[in-house]
Every structure is written in C-alpha cells, then in structure tokens.
Amino acid sequence: MWLKPEEVLLKNALKLWVTQKSSCYFILQRRRGHGEGGGRFTGATLEEINQHWEWLEQNLLHTLSVFDNKEDIASFVKGKIKALIAEETSSKLAEQEEEPEKFREALVKFEARFNFPEAEKLITYYSCCCWKGRVPRQGWLYLSVNHLCFYSFFLGKELKLIIPWVDVQKLERTSNVFMTDTIRITTHNKERDFSMFLNLDEVFKIMEQLADITLRRLLDNEIFELDPDLQEPTQITKRDLEARAQNEFFRAFFRLPRKEKLHEVIDCSLWTPFSRCHTAGRMFASDSYVCFASKEDGCCNVVLPLREVVSIEKMEDTSLLPNPIIISIRSKMAFQFIELKDRESLVENLLMRLKKVHANSPVHYDNLKNEDSSATMCGDQKFGALKLSQNGNKADKETSPLPNSEALIAIFHQSGTQSPDSRMSREQIKASLWSDHFVEYGRTVCMFRTEKIRKLVAMGIPESLRGKLWLLFSDAVTDLASHPGYYGSLVEESMGKCCLVTEEIERDLHRSLPEHPAFQNETGIAALRRVLTAYAHRNPKIGYCQSMNILASVLLLYAKEEEAFWLLVAVCERMLPDYFNHRVIGAQVDQSVFEELIRERLPELAEHMKDLSTLASISLSWFLTLFLSIMPLESAVNVVDCFFYDGIKAIFQLGLAVLEANAMELCSSKDDGQALMILSRFLDHVKNEESPRPPIGNHHTFFSDDQEPYPVTDIADLIRDSYEKFGDQSVELIEHMRCKHRIRVLQGHEDTTKQNVLRVVIPEVSIPPEDLEELYDLFKREHMISCYWEQTSPAFQHHDPNRPYAEQYLIDAQQFTNLYKLVSPWTCGAHTEILAERTFRLLDENMDHLIAFKGFAICLDIMYNGEMNEKIKLLYRLHLPPALTENDKDSQSPLKNPLLSTSRPLVFGKSNGDAIDYQKQLKQMLKDLAKEKDKTEKELPKMSQREFIQFCKTLYSMFHEDPEENDLYQAIATVTTLLLQIGEVGQRSSSSGSCSDECMDDVQTEASASTSDQDSVFADMGKIPQRYSQALSMTEGDWTVSLEHILASLLTEQSLVNFFEKPLDIKSKLENAKINQSSLRTNEMSRQSE
C-alpha cells in the first residue's frame, strides 16, 4: 500500500515493521510476522509490489535529485502517485462501461421499456436509486440524447419516468435527510432526486453536458453552433460528450477561438528558466495551438500558436530528461517538454498540424533577420514578433482605405496639468519593469504567463505598451497576422451600404466617449464607424449591439485601427461569448453566476438584499462595458488590462470587491434607487492617480452632488483587493457555474415567452387559463418532438427567439394534424386527418404553411366552447375551397363575429305538436340572419353541391360512436333532404339565390312529409346515401346553399342542437394527449419506415 510520505522513525518502526528494500528516498517494509513466504502484502502480491518498486527506481529516483528540499520532493511524489491512481481507476471504469455486449443489452431494455423511435440515441446508463418521498426506488437510469429516463420494478410495482432535457429547469448536486450526495433534477412542477451512483461526479458531468447541448440546440439556436462531432444527435456518444467538456474548458482557459478542436491532453513537465526547474503540468494540443498549464493554478501558462512555431524536435532520451521534445519559435525561444507519454505519435501529429498551418498561412521571416531581441526596448515599435503584423503587405497598404496608422491616443495627445513629470516618471518605472520582465519571460504571445505578470498587469499597463499587450494577451495578434488585408476588404465591402445595422451604428457614434477629444472630430468618429461596420459585415449573427461602440472606441484609443478590429473580434467571439446578440444570453448567464458568487462570498449582503436581481440589473453594465461606462476612463482602462489577461474572472472579482467596499451602506439602503445611487457614486470616485493623462469628465457626475467631498478610491488598491480577496475563482469553477445557470436563464426566457403568449390569448378564448397553459405545453412539445427525431427537421427553422413572443413557436401541417388528433373533439375516424388538413389551411392566413399558437387555440376554443352557430360557421368554412386564400379571407379573423345573434336562445321542444310556433320561430330566425348578414363586411360564399357533399360527409363521420348515433343519423337525413329542396327552390327562383318566406314554408312542408317514414340508419358513415347523391347530381349547375340555410335547417332538429351545444371536457383530452403524444409520433414514424 502507499503510505503518506513522512519521515520514518526507524528505531520505533523496527518493532513492528521489517525493511525489505530501501533507497535514498523510499523504503519498502512489511509488517513483522506477515507477508513472508511470498504471501500477499496489503492486498497486492509480492510480484506486483516489486514491479511498483522497480517503477519508482526507474522513473522517480533520478528526477527527484533536481529538487532542493524534502518538502518539494514529498509534494511531487504525492501528486504523481495520486495521478497514477486516478488514471488507473478511470481507465478501469472506461473498460467496464464500454463493453459492447452489456451496452447492447441495456439498449434493448431501453427501447422495450420506453418505446422511443430508433432516432432516440442511448448515450449511457447507470444503476441508481430514485427517491419517491422517503422511499428510494432502486432501478436503472438511462441517459439518451433528448431524455432522461428511469425504470424500476420493485415489490411488484413498475415505475417509469421520462424527463425531456428541454424541460429541465435546474440541475444540481444536493443532499437530503437520508443521502449526503444526490443529483436533483427540477422541472416545471416536480423535483426528482437520484443517488447511490458508483461515480456520481461522472454522472453529473454527463447530465450537465446533455442538458446544456439539448437546451442550447433547441432553445438558443439564434447563435449557438454545435461542435462538428455533435451536429448529428443520433451519432453522439459518451466519449463525444467527455471530449466536448474538455474542449470547452480548454478554449475557456486559454481563451481560444471556438473552431479550435482539442486533440491531445498529456501530462508532462516544462522547463521554466526563470525558476530553473521543470514545472509539472499538462500539454494541450489543438488544431493551431500547443498550450501548457501548470498543475499549480497560476504558476505558469504558455500559449504557442503553431503559426509562431519554427520546429518541433525530439531530443535524446536520458534518465534526467525522459522523453523530451523541443519546440522552437520565431522569436529565438525554445520550450523543452519532458515525461511525454507516447512521444513518437505526439510529435508526428504535431508536425502534421504544423505543416498544415504553415501551408494555409505562410510565414515570412525576412523582417526578423536583423532583429536583436535582447536589445529591444519595451516601447520599441518592433516589439518582438509583433513587427510582422505591423508591417503588413505593401500591396494591402496601397489598396487599404485605412487612414489611421496609429492609435488615437497618440494623435490626440493630452498633457496632464498636475505634476506631469512625476506622472511620466511613474510610467517610465512601469515600462522599465516590463522591459526586465520581457527579457526573462519572453516578449511575444508565447511568453511565460506567471503570477509575476499578473501583478504587473494589476498595477496598470504603461500606455506605450497597452495596445500591444492587449493584442498578446487576447491572442488577437495571431488573427491579425493570419489575415493580411482582411480588414481592408471588409471596410471596402461594407462602407456605403445602408441598412438597419448601419443606422443603429450612426445613431451611437456620437455617444461613444463624447468627452474624449479623439471622438469630438471626424477622425475618431470615422475610424469607429469603419470598425463597427466592418465587424457587423463580418458577423451578421451579432451585427451591432449597444455597448460595442464604447468597447470599440476605447480599443481605438490604444491600438491601431486594424488591431482594434481584431481586439473587438476577440472580445465579442471568444472572451465574452453570447454577450452581443438579441437576447444577451451570455451577459444574463454571468449575472446569474454573479448572484451566486455574492451569496457565497458576501453572505451578509445577500441576507440583507433578499432579491439579488436588483444588484444583477445594476451590474449588467459592468459586464457589458467592462466598467468603461460607469467608471472614469483613466481608471476603467486598468480594469480592461486585467480583463485581457484574466478574462471574465477579472470582472467577477472586481464586482465582488466593489460590493464589499460598499456592503455597509448597501445593507442600510432602503430601496433599489438608493442602492444604485451608492454604487454609482462610489464608482464615479474611483481614480487613477498614476495615469499620465488628465482626468476626463464623464457623464455620471450628476450622482456626485454632495455637499461634502466624497472619499476617493484608487483603482490600483481596488484591483489589488479584488485579487487578494476574490482571486481564487478558477476558470473551471466559473465555466461549471455558467453551464448550470445557462439552463435557468434559457428556461426563464421560455417562461417569459409562455406568459406573454398566454396573456394575449386568454382574453380571446373561454378555455380556462390552466388548461390553456397545458395546451401551450402540448403545442411546444409537438415542435420539440419534430426536432428530436426528424434528422433534417424544418422545425428548427420554425423557432426564432428574435420574433415576437406569439410567433416564436410555429407548427407545420403535419405537426398540426398530430395535435388535432390528440385534442380536437371533432374526431371523424378515417376522415379526421382530412378535416385536420382543411382546418390547417383555414388557419394559415398568410399562406406560409405555418400557424402560431393563438390561431390554434382560438380554433379549438370554438370546437369546445363556441355556440352552435359559431361551430357550424367553422364547419362551413372548412368546406369552402380554396381554404382561406388571400382573395376571400375577411379582414377580421374568420373565427369571430357569429352571424346569428345569440341574445335570444332558440329552444325547441321534443314534441311535434307546436308546428305553428316552430314555423314562426324559423321565419324570425331567418330574418335575424338576414339582418346580421347585412352587418358583416363581406358575405360568405355560398356552397356548391360538391362542397355540400363534403360537408355532409364530415357530419356523418362526426356522429360515429356517439351515444345518440341513431337519432343523429335520422336528423341529418332530414336536414339533408330539407337543404336539397332549398337548393332546388333557390335554383328555380330569383337569381339572388335566396329563398322567400313562402318558399321556405313550402320546403318545410315537403321536408316534413318526406321524413315521416325515415327510419333507417346509413351503414357507411363516410358516404352520402345513394338517393341523396342522385338528387344532388340531378341538380348540377347553379345549385347553391348558404350558411343561413344550413344553420336554420340544423336548428330544426333537437338532437343536432343537443350534439353541438353539449358541454365538452377539454381537461381529459389534455391529460390523454400528454400521455400519448410521444407514442403517437413513434407509431407514425414506424409506419413511415415500413
């Protein structure tokens, strides 16, 4: 066994332990009286123990000689052994879970238990417990690409849970009374706890990845782009998810472009000349970069763009330098890596990618021939390898319309009025410190990044170096050098074009640092216009968002125009992902993370301010503009320095420091307005005493109207406090918190959309709000199901978060038909699908083959809650081809304004004795109809005989399986006869096509006689009886019947009136629909595949 490395007291140890082997660093002992004769030592055989001892001698003994003290040796050995144990454990788990036979067996059970289509790819499965109250149910958890499923069969009871990832509102690790560590999944109205996993960390990470991918793919398709390996959900594997998680961390940690794909992660050690030893860490190799991060956070990081690499060579393998390689870069530096596993294949892969990078972006070394890197001063324009990006291409310079070849701050130079000499001397001291640092740590993008450079950045970067170091820290310098002439061509293509984006840019140009002289004239304004317009042209998904103008204007102050453009690219696309879009999802996610950090790090403030969303709304501008809009410029640029070096972590910790500095006042504040005043006044008085420029007045001074002078805070002190008190937030922790809170933010947007849609629809319908909410969920779920299982689903294009709330989710004809079958009360057997298609065409007013929830809900409301005349009018319209085209639709919704006045109800007795009163009621009703018809803006078309046949077919189909089926068939036969005679009389009468009262009397008498012997029920419900078909065909020509005639005729039969006016229960339909929605689509897909 491995004992914790500690000093061994041999005198005492000899009493209980017998030494087997020893060296200058290690001792192998066995317990006296145990392990003799080749037995087992602490669970391992003697052979295994000897192998481990040999490994120590061969791999560690020589390496340990480079350490100066015992503490370093003990620390190194402990870390190494822990890593080996973790690696062995993970590899064993991987071998167990990747057994294909067991996975196939689990897949068969998954498909049988949950009846999903084949497109629902199973990712992995685990044995666990699901808690139901205080009772744990042991079973199997199945994680598929779109769902989390749990199955248990315990004590004769079967339990099935299906939770779509898109319904997950919160995913967290927690504990309950019985279990110390559980995974809690929260949906709209339920919480589920899962526990007793063999490896809970792994399960939670896989869940987090699946929830994140699915939610962003389905709900945030505005700008979210999946990695190529995850584009096809049916091909996603557990290994892909693990690789994505590692990729996300790699890109976030080194702030690299999203297109970078990580290929290798290898434990190794890097020679660090400033500490004169090898530093243990990990190498990350991607498409265009080789990066290194030390195991000790912040000790040493290196970013090597392959574009800067000259050669990659293997060195001779020795005991002191096991498996070494040397990577040489253009600025005459070399990086030595040792202890690389599988060195041969690694070097081969690196050389292949190096060749590819150089082939795609050739590097010219002519401008570096005479460079003396040791003599270069930190303010020199060469600045190491940066000279390439500044020289550029002569041809590009001649054609490039860039008038600004230097930073605006150099053009609009301002001299300080107070102690200019002392201020400049401070700048010179800083520049000297940086110059010394460059000599020891490197001056290019490939420099060693250590805690020392972080301290220099926190002090404030000298103005002469600020723009250059921003380029290095963000790696925008690599983009700049890789795309010669790109910015110039963008400017040429975009300038002069007028669109909504350019109008927004023009409106904001003069609001960008208006107090700075650089933006009080056309030189600065024109440069800002070109940068913003070029970026909008480059990235139309983002285009232009407010606050980009403030960022770009500050970048232009300290960097050349083209450099400022690439810095803006780095900020918008890498360093602040998802910030600059229509919904600013990224900024909202970080506000949510900030709230959690406040609760953790400032608990007293969080306890006082129960609703931290107030602070989040105040701090939103801190994140969007990096404090530039709420802090004096000369102070805010120091914050930007830290941001370019440390990323968003710098903004989080500075925000916490600001809140801590004002915690007492905030705790005593009475309302949100006072809290805003406190913070704004504090930030307005954050000064930079070391700035060589004079203070620039800002537009926040209206907060500083105090009678007494407000105490000033120095920005250097504030930044130092933020690092000392809150600088321990790791990139990994922030990314984990972002992932967790992104789920909450996206679901918050979905809830907002839902509430806004319901608020618009509720006044239009009689469906109870709780049922309407269930209906909306079904409508949205139908859209989601299409996204789940249709590989080239157009449903993805039907969801656009940029559209108005009511139009964000749209469904097509097939999706509508599926919903119609589930929730419509007008089911007509085989005829249902035809009726659904006609209903869809009726609702599709703009002929785009899509309908929104509002139209669907209003239509369904008529079917369930409409009065009889509304229902008949809807049925009538469903049988008028073409179904609601642009030529014949009303200006108002076709589903409102019933023709028949409902102020006086028509009640008919069951007896036939009141014939005279009945005739009078019918005549009066026809007069009312005529009056109502005159009021309508447009008369409904009359129905031809072909349309009337289809109308009757639908009615016959609707009556099938009704309890009053026989009475309804007899009644409709009577009505059909009546309407046939009305049509014939109308054909013989005046050209207006309407019957007089006398005609109606005759028709009514004939109808009574003809139906007196009617006592049969039609066997085929899908067809009109033969004698009526013959009658209809005989009246071919101008035979027509109007809505008024049909409604009046239907009202003559009490059974028909009862059928259309009986109350219908939508709740039971909705409950059944929730249960059967997925299975209906599964069965449909199965039929299509056969």
pLDDT (tens digit per residue) in 231-253 = 677 778 888 888 888 999 999 99
The residue that leads in pLDDT, 732 or 67, is 732
User: Is pLDDT of 926 > 80?
Assistant: no
Residue 170: strand pairing partners: 186
The residue that leads in pLDDT, 459 or 806, is 459
- Predicted pLDDT at 220: 75
Degrees, nearest 5: CA angle 70-316-323? 55
Q: Which of 138-152, 211-225, 701-715, 955-969 has the lowest mean pLDDT?
A: 701-715
**709 burial via Cβ count (<10 Å: 0-12, 13-18, 19+):** exposed
In angstroms, rounded to a whole number, what is the distance separating the alpha carbons of residues 447 and 300? 10
Please name which of 562, 566, 559, 567 lies closest in space to residue 396, comparing C-alpha atoms: 562
The residue that leads in pLDDT, 652 or 218, is 652
Residue type, 614: T
What confidence tens digit (pLDDT) does each residue in 113-151 have?
Answer: 998 888 888 999 999 888 877 777 888 999 999 999 999
Q: Which of 615-624, 833-842, 934-943, 1040-1049 has the lowest mean pLDDT?
A: 934-943
Is the Cβ–Cβ distance between 628 and 551 less than 8 Å? yes
What confidence tens digit (pLDDT) does each residue in 580-595 have?
Answer: 887 888 999 999 999 9
User: Is pLDDT of 1035 > 90?
Assistant: no
Taking residues 1066-1081, what's their average pLDDT? 85
User: Is pLDDT of 1072 > 70?
Assistant: yes
Work out the pLDDT band at 889, boundaries 50, 70, 90. Answer: very low
Is the Cβ–Cβ distance between 473 and 657 less than 8 Å? no
Is the Cβ–Cβ distance between 28 and 22 less than 8 Å? yes
Please name which of 650, 656, 616 lies closest in space to residue 636, comparing C-alpha atoms: 650
- Encode 802-812: b = buried (16+ Cβ within 10 Å), e = exposed: eeebbbbbbbb
In angstroms, rounded to a whole number, what is the distance separating the alpha carbons of residues 19 and 150? 53
Number of other residues whose CB lies within 10 A of the CB of residue 476: 27
What confidence tens digit (pLDDT) does each residue in 678-727 have?
Answer: 999 999 999 988 887 777 655 444 444 445 678 899 999 999 999 999 99
- Predicted pLDDT at 864: 93
Q: Which of 312-316, 465-469, 906-910, 1036-1040 has the lowest mean pLDDT?
A: 906-910
Please name which of 810, 769, 793, 864 lies closest in space to residue 1085, comparing C-alpha atoms: 793
In angstroms, rounded to a whole number, what is the distance separating the alpha carbons of residues 80 and 4? 12
The residues, ordered by sequence, that sit 6+ positions from 915 with a Cβ below 8 Å of its Cβ are none
**Distances from the Cα of 719 to the Cα of 118, 269, 650, angstroms:** 55, 32, 9
What end-to-end distance do the CA atoms of the chain give, in Å? 60
The residue that leads in pLDDT, 745 or 401, is 745
Residue type, 878: L
Q: Is 310 helix (H, G, I), strand (E, B) or coil?
A: strand
Tokens of 853: 């929830």
User: Is pLDDT of 364 > 80?
Assistant: no
Tokens of 175: 């504990």
Taking residues 286-296, what's their average pLDDT? 94
Taking residues 250-273, what's their average pLDDT? 92
**Distances from the Cα of 691 to the Cα of 285, 407, 462, 719, angstroms:** 40, 17, 9, 15
Residue 279: strand pairing partners: 270
Work out the pLDDT band at 268, boundaries 50, 70, 90. Answer: very high
Work out the pLDDT band at 389, boundaries 50, 70, 90. Answer: very low
In angstroms, rounded to a whole number, what is the distance separating the alpha carbons of residues 772 and 854? 10
- Predicted pLDDT at 384: 36
Residue type, 148: L
- Predicted pLDDT at 895: 36
Taking residues 543-554, what's their average pLDDT? 92
User: Is pLDDT of 372 > 60?
Assistant: no
Q: Is 164 helix (H, G, I), strand (E, B) or coil?
A: strand
In angstroms, rounded to a whole number, what is the distance separating the alpha carbons of residues 255 and 481? 18
- Predicted pLDDT at 490: 93
Tokens of 341: 């596993």
In angstroms, rounded to a whole number, what is the distance separating the alpha carbons of residues 683 and 687? 9
- Predicted pLDDT at 403: 52
Tokens of 700: 């926040």
Q: Which of 248-262, 899-913, 962-976, 1047-1061 has the lowest mean pLDDT?
A: 899-913
H/E stretch holding 797 = helix 795-798
- Predicted pLDDT at 83: 54
- Predicted pLDDT at 1012: 40
The torsion angles phi and psi of 130, rounded to 5 degrees, stand at -110, 125
Work out the pLDDT band at 393, boundaries 50, 70, 90. Answer: very low
- Predicted pLDDT at 408: 82
H/E stretch holding 931 = helix 915-935
